[in-house]
Amino acid sequence: MKYIVLMGAPGAGKGTQAKLLQQRLGLPQVSTGDLFRYNLSNQTELGQLARSFMDKGELVPDDVTIAMVRERLSQPDCVRGAILDGFPRTLAQAAALDKLLAEFGGHINLVPYIHVEESILVERLVRRALIEGRTDDNEATIQNRMRVYLTQTAPLLTLYQERGLLVQIDGDQSIETVHEALCQAIAAA
Ligand code: ADP
């Protein structure tokens, strides 16, 4: 079993890289952002609930998010592990993930941290807003997502660093170069 947790600020390229790794490693990408957006577009109860938080750039409550991830990681395609993207985002989620993986007889194998300077991140998100028209890609929401990231998610970097799981990847390079750097880090783990 191999569980890889991709970390990085909004706009760092986690989603893009997780998709490439999914192909390369044959492990499913589990993205909480994608799961919430799927529920939104299918107008499920979970989607309705998540919408109010997402549109403001706030985090969806931990209990809801954790239950969704538990359900996803229990699917048969995740028996060999998964590439987690966008989860965990809080210390409570990190603790829940440890517990969940222990139940499955696994643990986090590596936490690649895709690092990109903040000014570049905001530029990227504004551009993505124009292209994709995501409702949470407007300027006020982007600022809030950055704030939420710095206060709630960045502390996880210290946690994983202390456990010796964190490996920093320079995210301000071409998609292919970042992908190769990730593959090397994973192969060496
Ligand atoms: P980005 O990485 O660009 O910020 P995501 O697609 O990962 O965007 O997430 C979009 C939104 O979905 C977040 O702003 C948040 O509202 C919600 N979300 C995603 N993952 C989580 C999570 N682990 N916990 C709580 N909310 C989440």
Global pTM? 0.93
* Domain 2-188, CATH number (from 3.65.10.10, 3.40.190.10, 3.40.50.300, 3.20.20.10): 3.40.50.300
Is 119 in a helix, a strand, or coil? Answer: helix
In this structure, what are the phi and psi dihedrals at residue 49, rounded to the nearest 5 degrees?
Answer: -65, -45
**pLDDT tens digit string along 133-159?**
777 778 888 899 999 999 999 999 999
Q: Where are the domains of the chain?
A: 2-188
**pLDDT tens digit string along 54-86?**
999 999 999 999 999 999 999 999 999 999 999
- Burial class, 23, CB count within 10 angstroms (exposed 0-12 / middle 13-18 / buried 19+): exposed
Reading the block at residue 27, the tokens are 């492990």
Closest CA to 136 of 60, 72, 65: 60
What is the H or E stretch that residue 52 is in?
A: helix 45-56
User: How far apart, in whole angstroms, are the C-alpha atoms of residue 41 and residue 94?
Assistant: 27
Q: Which residues are catalytic?
A: 14, 89, 128, 134, 145
* Nearest atom of ligand 1 to the alpha carbon of 36: 12
Does residue 57 have its Cβ closer than 6 Å to ligand 1?
yes
